[in-house]
Amino acid sequence: MSLHIRQKKNSSGSVSIQIIDRVDRKYKVVETIACVKNEVDLQIYLDVANKRLENLSQQMYPTLFDENKNEELTFIELGNKDLIPIGDELIYGKLFERLGCSSIDLDFKKLQMFKNLVISRLLYPGSKLYLIDYLEYFKQQSMDKNSIYRFLDTLYEENLKSQIEKCVFDHTYAKMNQTIAFTFYDVTTLYFESESEDDLRRIGFSKEGKLTRPQIQLGLFTTLQGYPLSFEVYEGNKYEGQTLVDILKKFQEKFVLSNKPIVVADRGMLNNNNLAYLENNGYKYILAAKIKNISNDLKEQISNLTFLNDVVTHTVKFNKDIPYTDDNEIKQSININQRLVLSYSTSRAKKDKYNRDKALERFKKKIESSKSITKKDLKLSYYAKYLNIDDHKCDITFNINDKKVDNDAKLDGIKGFITNDFTLTPNEIIEHYNNQYAVEQAFRISKTDLKIRPIYHRLETRIKAHILISFVSYAIFKEFDSKLKENNIKFKFSQKLLRDIIKHMFALRTNGKLVYLKFDEIQQQVYDAIRNS
């Protein structure tokens, strides 16, 4: 951009004297000095325009130095080494301290390594080897990967895990005002890039579709708000329904609560041993029920209920004896009182009907077109229950049992919740179960934002250390997110961009002191949210 004088001839014969500027390849009139009709006035006003041009130039484009003054310039020696990134300690380091993890029983050097691994998981999610990048950028330190692996081999000891879990639990407990009314439990699978199995890494049912990959299972307790409470690592081929009692026992031993929370879990946890343990140990529970797998008597009761709309709920109370196996492998029986709370969804009913119709259509085509169909072909299908199977010595015949189909259709759209709590309303039971998304969200954040999987480690100690680090990183992630929400701070951009913004918070080292560089608006908001809370 540059200012200059223009003489513009008008149609009347006069001349306009203007000061103009060029902006984006277009000329813009900054000021009109005069409109003259003779040569004498033209020269007079051109002189005026030149003086005005000089004044405007100084106002709009001031020079850095006054050329008329003999100023002595002062230089300071600054380089890249003097520009120190501080966002890691200023934001996540502060939250690490608040979590109380600095009090765990590690010497200073190992504690710093643990802290660096946790923060690098937040800023550089992915492989532990990204810690090398983190240390190089933020700490100007070099480290080789073998040092990281040696530390991981010593990190996961039951005593240390308990200390670290207690720090996280105590922080969560304080945030909940010393009251944890509900705990939400779920299990997820985490797969490995390797194809070899061992005692921990086993091929099992994968929730991520990695059917040929070894995996482990992660059981996690969270609060209603998604804050982590406790976790355990299990073999990849273990039935997830067998994990609840184990983690609940360990939870009880580590954290003694004055009032036991209501346990909320999905239908994978609904088995007799779990129900017996919860009942015998004074726990209330809300578990999703497998409506189409319950007793025929209950099915008949439910079939006679009327749901006028999606708001209507029904409750069926019942008493039953359930057999179970105790800790000593002795068969026992317990009598329990339960409520089955029922809700209805029109969209779910349409989906149930669609899935059944599609399955029956496939069965009919297969039965009609193939003479070699066997029971083995059908045993893995949920919808095989609709078939009558006549097993003769020389032949096997199949046909659709229309009565079974009709009975199943009466349960379309109905969802059930089993509970032994008789104080909560049906809507409260349903609402509390629907809050199960809190633990599901914890898994989603851990897998996407913190990139907890795939896992590249081979040794069990390193695998469990990896989960422990990710557990603490998730706790800090939740606290960070909580502080932003408490201060009504919302960002429309991605977590990756937010990480980059934190990475670019700097201080300047000058005369042996650190001086913060001025934060931009977003950095200041984040800093204030963490500092003032």
- In sequence order, what DSSP letters do the residues of 475-506 get, joined into one string? HHHHHHHHHHHHTT----S-HHHHHHHHHT-E
Q: Are 389 and 375 in contact (CB under 8 A)?
A: yes
Is 521 within the bounds of a domain? no
- According to DSSP, the β-strands at 506-510 and 83-85 are antiparallel
The three-class DSSP label of residue 521 is: helix
86 and 140 part of one domain? yes
Is 440 within the bounds of a domain? no
Query: Whole-structure pTM over 0.85, yes or no?
Result: no
Residue where a domain terminates, one of 387, 409, 431 = 409
Low-confidence residues of the chain: pLDDT under 70:
1, 24, 58-80, 128, 192-213, 370-383, 389-398, 443-458, 533
Instruction: Give the span between the Cα atoms of 238 and 240, in whole angstroms.
Output: 6
104 and 139 part of one domain? yes
Residue where a domain terminates, one of 388, 409, 430 = 409
Instruction: Give the span between the Cα atoms of 292 and 71, in whole angstroms.
Output: 89
The pLDDT value given to residue 381: 61
Q: Across the strands, what pairs with 232?
A: 219
Is 180 within the bounds of a domain? no
38 and 104 part of one domain? no
88 and 150 part of one domain? yes
Q: Are 331 and 323 in contact (CB under 8 A)?
A: yes
Instruction: Give the span between the Cα atoms of 389 and 397, in whole angstroms.
Output: 6
- The CB-side HSE value for 386 (13 A sphere, CA atoms) comes to 20
Would you tell me how many other CB atoms lie within 10 Å of the CB of residue 113?
A: 22
Instruction: Give the span between the Cα atoms of 324 and 194, in whole angstroms.
Output: 38
The three-class DSSP label of residue 516 is: strand
User: And the tokens for 435?
Assistant: 């809050």
Range of the domain at 385: 349-409
86 and 152 part of one domain? yes
Instruction: Give the span between the Cα atoms of 217 and 240, in whole angstroms.
Output: 8
Q: Which amino acid is at 379?
A: K
Tokens 């073999």 label which residue? 235
Q: Are 143 and 135 in contact (CB under 8 A)?
A: yes
Of the candidates 41, 163, 149, 178, the residue with the CA atom closest to the CA atom of residue 99 = 163
55 and 115 part of one domain? no
Is 209 within the bounds of a domain? no
User: And the tokens for 456?
Assistant: 């590249």
Is 375 within the bounds of a domain? yes
55 and 90 part of one domain? no
Query: For 349-396, how does the pLDDT look when each residue is reduced to its tens digit (9 = 90+)?
Result: 999 999 888 888 887 777 777 666 665 555 546 667 777 766 655 555
DSSP 57-126: HHHHS--SS-TTS-PPP------GGGEEE-HIIIIIIHHHHHHTGGGSS--HHHHHHHHHHHHHHHHS-S
Instruction: Give the span between the Cα atoms of 90 and 95, in whole angstroms.
Output: 9
Secondary structure letter of residue 292 according to DSSP: G
Is 45 within the bounds of a domain? yes
**Apex 471 CA angle, 182 and 119, nearest 5:** 135
Is 85 within the bounds of a domain? yes
Of the candidates 79, 84, 224, 22, the residue with the CA atom closest to the CA atom of residue 506 = 84
Surface-to-core class of residue 35, CB atoms within 10 Å of its CB (0-12 exposed, 13-18 middle, 19+ buried): middle
Q: Are 90 and 505 in contact (CB under 8 A)?
A: yes
Bond from prior residue into 323 cis (ω within 30 degrees of 0): no
Is 28 within the bounds of a domain? yes
Q: How far is CA 504 from CA 78, 473, 496, 499, 530, in A?
A: 18, 20, 13, 9, 17
Per DSSP, the chain holds a count of helices (H) and strands (E) of: 18, 16
Domain count, the chain: 3
Q: Are 134 and 124 in contact (CB under 8 A)?
A: yes
